[in-house]
Amino acid sequence: MHRALALSAVPVLLAVTAVAAGCGEGSGPQPPAGAAALVLRLTEWPGMVGPGGTAAISPSFSLLGDGRLISRTGPPGGWPQMREDRVPPDGVRRLLRDATAVPDRPAGNAPDAPVVRLVVVSTDGRRERTLPRTDAAVERLRATLAGYADGPAVPFRPEAVAMVATPGDAAEPARPWPLPTLAGEPLSGLAAGSTCLVLRDADLDTVRAAATAGAGRWRSDGRVWQVAPRPLLPDETGCADL
């Protein structure tokens, strides 16, 4: 009788052990869920930023809660080209864990040294750091992200693009801006002196069709502007997110 009871308890014990093991694997910070929830963003800033400052620089990689990985293709400048890939759930958790484990290190004393801006979001909150571009942990994270973006390219088509405009030399040649006005919201920080105008729908199509080089000079309201288009990512809604 006692032997029968002991044997019958074995499956229950195994089930409890399996559940406990599963809970252990899922412990720790978890990625947020949703198509518009940011998990990880890696942006590479050059030592000397151009017109529009850091607001004009598209992120190199943005990982979202639904597993989408949006990455920039090609060098900065021109109309931004971006692609969309998929990361499986276990890959999302692994990337979150690796990004969370990147140690804090000062970006260095050289003011012109290129850096990486890393944003990590989990159930523990949001964490932002600026790290040396040559940091070994950052390089490993960048390589892992790039490994998920090596298949057939699927273009990412943003629903909105922020036009980051900086006053330029009025004597320089410039194309006429195809919309009523170009100046938008004043920007601050490293983008101080520039403005931001978000384009959607027909306005976006009009400017994209007119922009043979994407980033260039335009004339609007009697002024010449140096303009850089910056796509808004799914977690971004406007100029304040740049």
pLDDT tens-digit profile of 68-126? Answer: 999 999 766 678 899 999 999 999 999 999 999 999 877 665 667 899 999 999 999 99
Cα–Cα distance between 69 and 141 in angstroms, integer?
13
Write a three-state SS string for the chain: CHHHHHHHHHHHHHHHHHHHHHHHHCCCCCCCCCCCCEEEEEEEECCCCCCCHHHHCCCCEEEECCCEEEEEECCCCCCCEEEEEECCHHHHHHHHHHHHCCCCCCCCCCCCCCEEEEEEEECCEEEEEEEECCCHHHHHHHHHHHHCCCCCCCECCCCEEEEEEEECCCCCCCEECCCCCCCCEECCHHHCCCEEEEEEHHHHHHHHHHCCCCCEEEEECCEEEEEEEEECCCCCCCHHHC
Structural domain contains residue 24:
no
pTM for this model (two decimals): 0.85
- Domain limits at 174? 160-241
Chosen domain end from 99, 119, 147:
147
User: How many domains is the chain partitioned into structurally?
Assistant: 2
**231 and 138 co-located in one domain:** no
The confidence band for 47, taking pLDDT boundaries of 50, 70 and 90, is: confident
Mean pLDDT of 157-178: 94
Instruction: Kindly tell me if the per-residue pLDDT of 3 is higher than 50.
Output: no
Chosen domain end from 113, 147, 181:
147
